[in-house]
Amino acid sequence: MDVQDYLRTFEQPWKAPLEERLHAASPELAALVRPLLKEPRDYREREGREAGLADFLHGSSEADQRDLSALLFPQAAAPAQRTIHALLTRHPYPEGYARRAFRAPGERVQAVRAASWLMAAWQATRDYPQNVEWFAVHAGLLNAWSSHSLGLLIGQAVSDGDAAVFQILRDTASTGHPVARMGRHVPLALLSSTDPEAWALAEGLLLAAQRQEGLRQVILETVDEAGPEPFTRLLRLILKEDLLRFAAVLRAACVWFGLNYDVSDLKVVRGLLTRALAYLEDGAAARNAVQGSSGVEAYLALYVLAMRDAAEAAELARPLLEDADAERRMAAAQFLLAAGRLGQAEQAALIRDPDPRLAALAGGMVNRWSPPDEAPALTFEDYLAYAQRLPDAARSGESAHQPLLFPWLGHLPRVRRRWIP
């Protein structure tokens, strides 16, 4: 039987049962969920719905989360509620290809991430009124997006001590399950859980991948969603077993720390990851590095500290924007940009930085596609003053690049001279 035909045997209508549950829900919760019965007309409506969910989840009680989970995940309400709580408190908040493993417990950015997961997981599960054990078996048969969205839910079941779900993951990883297939949900569930035995299984998978570059990549693309402890264990394993010799490992490690090195720079990357591992193992050393070490060490330390608390790391980074050392200023600016914490005051100070390579970061934040509410609060006069400070090479339209902090940083914009008085 075809996979899709097989899955269709489990499908059930979801709208009518949801409407019945809405009748028994509180007016506030019903008003929040009822719009989900209709497909959004465009992306702005979809974003508006997720923003409403984020507002609800931010500061929500466990009872609020239970009620919402019971509406959207009736067969898996308890693990879904605990997944929401974990997203608000211990999972990273950034999303997308260039996401980092940053956390900000209690802040609204965590609720935004929780709302995004909630919508994705609900859409993946709503046609199948089944429990988590069923999804642990069948997640690999769904499309890649749905499979990935279920990883955190399945991982939460592992954290809850669900032995049946953990055994399904074991059997899937060993290709011993008669139905389940390997997918991104497996390493994500293992690494996002709080169970050290699950982390050990993920480590074994990474070592066993050997020449299976595809499997290795699937595992590595979920490492940044692991907690600080399993992340530290994986990084230690990578360095111990010299796994950087594999292209997927090198690429993933560079994404984790916002680096842009290639296979010709293995020695450099190994040194940087060794330093990052030391900071992961010693938070005090990381804080000291921010306050008094080189720009590169401060940069790595800020990334490591943000894996536990991005707000604390940002407070340590902001004073560096006024440091006498341009590399340390660049380290702080790059981190604050990656963490989404470069505020309007910092943007205004950045464009006036005496080093035009740093000021270019503020200028680069504006483009024709920037939403008005996300554009920097900078004036035309700010940009004009910056353009007038550019070196002659840039002012004449030539490319100007003197590396700052890392080889790929330090570019200056090419400016058409007729635009500069």
- Nearest Cα neighbor of 153 from 242, 78, 94, 101 is 78
**Residue 173 is assigned to a structural domain of this protein:** no
Does the residue 370 lie in any domain?
A: yes
| Final residue in a domain of this structure, among 91, 108, 129 | 129
Answer yes or no: is pLDDT of 176 > 90: yes
Domain count, the chain: 2
Could you tell me if residue 268 is inside a domain?
Answer: no
Strand partners, 404: 406
- The answer to whether residue 29 is domain-embedded is yes
| Poorest-pLDDT segment among 99-108, 224-233, 335-344, 377-386 | 377-386
Domain presence at residue 241? no
The answer to whether residues 301 and 328 touch, using CB atoms and an 8 Å cutoff, is no
Is position 340 within any domain?
no
Mean pLDDT on 2-9: 92
Mean pLDDT value of segment 324-341: 96
Q: Scanning the structure block, which residue is given the tokens 């483009």?
A: 367
The domain boundary, picked from 112, 129, 146, lies at: 129
Residue 416 lies in a domain: yes
Reported confidence tier of residue 293, pLDDT bands at 50, 70, 90: very high
CA distances from 30 to 25, 26, 36, 283, 348 (A): 6, 6, 10, 45, 43
Of all residues in the chain, the percent with pLDDT exceeding 70 is 92
How sure is the predictor about 39, in pLDDT bands with cuts at 50, 70 and 90?
confident
Q: Which residues contact 369 (CB under 8 A, 6 or more apart)?
A: none
pLDDT band at 376; cut points 50, 70, 90: low
Residue 68's domain spans which residues? 9-129
- Global pTM reads 0.91
Nearest-angstrom CA–CA distance, 125 and 145: 12
Task: Mark which of 86, 114, 129 sits at the end of a domain.
Answer: 129
Domain-located, residue 19: yes
